[in-house]
Amino acid sequence: MLSLTASSQVHYGQQAPDITLPGVNGDTVKLSSLKGKVVLVDFWASWCGPCRASNKKLVKFYPKYKDKGFEILAVSLDKDRADWTKAVAKDKMNWPQVIDDGGWDAKTGEKWGIYQLPTSYLIDKDGKIVAMDLEGKMLEKALKDLLGS
Amino acid sequence: MKKTVVILLVLLALQSQAQFTKASLQASGLTCSMCNNAIYKALKALPFIASVESDIKNSSFDMVFKRDTPASIDAIKDAVEDAGFSVATFKLTGNFDHVSIADDKHVKIGDRHFHFIKVKDQVLDGEQTITVIDKDFLTVKSFKKFSAATKKGCIQTGKADACGETEGVTKDTRIYHVTI
């Protein structure tokens, strides 16, 4: 079930819109640079309790699949960059991190139809959106299918 | 004619006035109230709201009212409830023009009727922030504390009914219960 807002450009089975946002070191990171991998685009924020809990789970999960062609792109909607970088360090997330510092008015958030955090989209190796808000066993099952091919 | 004008001006000067400029609320519910934009969007959509800020550190929503449109705190509360949450705290800021208040007494400010509870008798001047303590603007525990501080029944309904009618006040008149 995909929740669409008026400005959402996210549709199942279609190409994910590209993401071009600043990373932790001021560099620019693009979602399209991860094509060829199965990517979990994970929208979160440092102040979102359930997001921080989800980060902890992903930290345990990530090493199992990262060498098999899986990547996570974490997109934060934090308005305060200091809060963001502190949370990234605290949660020990060693996967690509970017920020769109507009909170609920962030353009990337609007483009991807984000109305609640955390929200995640699973993108296949061809850059197509295949699922939303998968976690735990459901995410593992989807990864096994997508990485196997 | 001159005498009538003078009398009218004196009467106007005696009427209590305040200009309400902004409000701040905290919401509560079964899920994380800051983690979705339902409240933010609902508040932004209100016609008398000029701007809304999500204050992450205080888990609150800070609103600035438009200057020319009267704000309705009941409409704000309804917007929060329609979003699936309830109001846990509600602070209202205004510029007060020499408004006399007394504990457990009604005072008419502009067109609205207020019932101040658990306050020291005082005169409100300049920018002041009052806290709304009507039933749907507080946690159950906090409301119990304030409703116990008055014997007047209007605290339970937010309407004048049980507090009796006076000039200009019928049983359906909205009485805003507040403290400072």
pLDDT value of residue B7:
67
In this predicted structure, the answer to whether residue B5 has a pLDDT above a threshold of 80 is: no
Between CA A97 and CA A73 the distance in angstroms is: 6
Please answer yes or no on whether B35 and A48 come within 8 Å at the CB atom.
yes
Average pLDDT over residues B69-81: 96
Whole-model pTM: value is: 0.87
- Please tell me the distance in Å from B56's CA to the nearest CA on chain A: 7
CB contacts under 8 A, A 5-34 vs B, are none
Contact B32 A49 (CB under 8 A): yes
Average pLDDT, chain A: 93
Number of Cβ atoms within 10 Å of the Cβ of B149? 14
Q: Please tell me the least confidently modeled range out of A3-12, B71-80, B123-132.
A: A3-12
Model confidence at A70: pLDDT above 50 = yes
Residue B164: per-residue pLDDT: 73
Residue closest to A41 by CA, chosen among A138, A116, A132: A132
Interface test with B, best of A54, A116, A133 (most B CBs within 10 A): A116
Strand order through the sheet with B122-132: B49-55, B60-65, B17-28, B86-101, B122-132, B175-179, B112-116, B105-109
Within 8 A of A49 by CB-CB distance, chain B residues are 32, 35
Instruction: Give the pLDDT confidence of B133-149 residue by residue, as tens digits.
Output: 999 999 999 999 999 99
Residues 20-49 of B with CB under 8 A from A: 32, 34-38, 40-41
Residue A98 φ/ψ, nearest 5 degrees: -135, 165
Mean pLDDT of the residues in chain B: 92
A50 touches chain B (CB under 8 A): yes
Across residues A38-52, what is the average pLDDT?
A: 97
- Distance CA(B93)–CA(B64), nearest Å, equals 10
Stretch B113-125: mean pLDDT: 96
CA distances from B127 to A2, B35, B95, B101 (A): 47, 32, 4, 15
Contact A47 B56 (CB under 8 A): yes
Residue B155 one-letter amino acid: I
Q: B31, B32, B44: which to substitute to probe chain A, counting the most A Cβ within 10 Å? A: B32
- Closest by alpha carbon to B40, among B89, B95, B84, B96? B84
CB contact under 8 A, A47 and B37: no
Q: Which residues of A touch B36 (CB under 8 A)?
A: 115-117
- Residue A118: name the closest of A73, A76, A56 by CA: A76
Q: Which of B10-19, B34-43, B74-83 has the lowest mean pLDDT?
A: B10-19
Report whether pLDDT(A42) > 70: yes
Who among A104, A115, A116 is closest to B54 (CB)?
A104
Of B32, B38, B40, the CB nearest to A48: B32
pLDDT at B12 over 90: no
The structure tokens listed for A128 are 């197509």
What confidence tier does B81 reach under pLDDT thresholds 50, 70, 90? very high
Q: Which residues of A touch B41 (CB under 8 A)?
A: 104, 115
What was the ipTM of the complex prediction? 0.83
Residue B14 banded pLDDT, cuts 50, 70, 90:
low
Among residues A142, A148, A125, the alpha carbon closest in space to that of A61 is found at: A142
- In angstroms, the separation between the Cα of residue A121 and the nearest Cα of chain B is 17
